[in-house]
Amino acid sequence: MQFYFINILCFICECIKIYLLYDKVIGFKKVKEKWIWYITIVGVFLGSSILFFRLKEYAVFGNTLILLVIIMVLFKEPLFYKCIMFFPLYSIICLLDTWLNSIQEILIPSKDFSIFIRRFIEILISIVTIIILIVIARVKQKYISIQLSRKLIWYQGFIVAAVIVISCIFTGYSQVVLQDSTVLLDRILNFIFVCAWVALVYMVFAVMYNIIVKEQYRLSIESNEKVLKSQQEYYKMVLEKDQSIRRFRHDYGSHIGCIKMFALKQNCNAIINYIEEMEDFTANFTGTINTGNMIVDTIINDTIEKCKDLGITIEVSGMFPDNFKVSNMDVTTIFSNAIINAVEAAAKCKQIDKTVKISIRNTEKKSIIEMENPIAESLCIEKGILRSTKNDNLNHGFGILNIRNCLEKYNGILEFERKEEYIYTRIIV
């Protein structure tokens, strides 16, 4: 019975490792329905119990199948990506376990230990692997703004290959020296082992690179589509206001004549009521933001309309220069992401004043855009660089990453500063 519980603990560790790898390291999106999680947890426990208690000879195959089912059920990504990445990713976990186990064999040989002690050591090694994955996830979260490139992927491939070779040396040493295995056979197996692992890990990095690049393009396209739709609404709103102004001008003489008639009759109440009606009618003529840049005007005016139901006010001051040389696509990416982040942060605040302030000022060569908004969530800002603690760190990171990528074209700067319950975003371009 004691081995049964040890086996269950080992399998729980495997589930935690594969979950951390998919969720925290790779960044796959989880399903939000709690009942799916409950059913999966109960199903995993029952399935693993049956395997270890009744079907021990099928334990390895069954556990691998259960892990695959977990990935299929708990994550939203396309089935093809989840399937093609499962075995390489799980192999990386196995490699890490093997590496740690080899180090343990070199430092503390376990050939004289009982089976129970060996299984207990396996659990400890799994816990160390889990800690390593958590550290990797934290590092990834901290440096999500680093732009991936093909050169970086090659560097990663060489580093991983070097790690694999070292792990093979450790593994081979522990087998040959400590367990008296055949040297030639071990060398052949290690060579095959290295080739297989290099191929698997390289494929994983290639797929990861492909997914991340596609995600960047998808977010960029979505942002541009939103702005184009907002532009259509903005042009429609401007046209409607222009027509209203024309109608008012057409009837302006009649309005003045009517007010004059009430004045001659000394009917002050009628004059006041008539003027109030005119004020209500002309109130729609104002309120359109004008910054001197049509794209920015569209984004801000569209955001103002959407923020009315959220109780968020947007205040804008300043104008862009006539020679503002940032392309329309880059302006869209920079301002849509910056304003969306500010509004999302303000929407989460419980305070009454949810004002987002945007100021624009210009120097001889640069434009400086400063945004101020209230914030409720915890943020880490290091040397002006924002480190998010949101669960949706991947998407949030892409927004900031896209802003930085656009600013780099113009030697621009993106800085963040937090003061009490407010965060200040400074864009210099």
Give the whole-number percent of the chain exceeding pLDDT 70. 61
Select from 142, 161, 45 the least CA-distant residue to 95: 161
* The pLDDT value given to residue 151: 57
Least confident range of 256-265, 310-319, 397-406: 397-406
Other Cβ atoms within 10 Å of 275 Cβ, number:
13
- Best mean pLDDT range from 152-161, 288-297, 411-420: 411-420
**If you average pLDDT over residues 353-379, what whole number do you get?**
86
Q: Confidence class of residue 402 from pLDDT cuts 50, 70 and 90?
A: confident
Task: Sort residue 27 into left (φ over 0), alpha (ψ -120 to 50) or beta.
Answer: left
- Best mean pLDDT range from 22-26, 81-85, 200-204: 22-26
* The pLDDT value given to residue 182: 54
* The pLDDT value given to residue 258: 82
Question: Please, are residues 332 and 299 in contact by the beta-carbon 8 Å criterion?
Answer: yes
Helix (H) or strand (E) holding 418, with range, is: strand 413-419
Q: What is the pLDDT of residues 233-291, one digit of tens each?
A: 666 666 666 566 667 667 777 778 887 887 887 778 888 887 877 777 666 555 567 78
| Domains along the sequence of the chain with CATH | 2-142 (no CATH), 290-429 (3.30.565.10)
Instruction: Please give the full DSSP string across 365-411, using - where no structure is assigned.
Output: S-EEEEEEEE--S-EEEETTEEEE--TTHHHHHHHHHHHHHHHHTTT
* The pLDDT value given to residue 97: 79
Is 409 exposed, middle or buried (CB count within 10 Å of its CB: 0-12, 13-18, 19+)?
exposed
Q: Side chain identity at 172, as an amino acid letter?
A: G
Q: What is the pLDDT of residues 207-219, one digit of tens each?
A: 666 666 666 677 7
* The pLDDT value given to residue 273: 81
**If you average pLDDT over residues 174-182, what whole number do you get?**
50
Q: Confidence class of residue 39 from pLDDT cuts 50, 70 and 90?
A: confident
- Partners of residue 422 on adjacent β-strands: 374, 419
pTM of the model: 0.46
What is d(CA 34, CA 238) in angstroms, rounded to the nearest whole number? 46
What is the number of H-type helices and E-type strands within the chain?
Answer: 13, 7
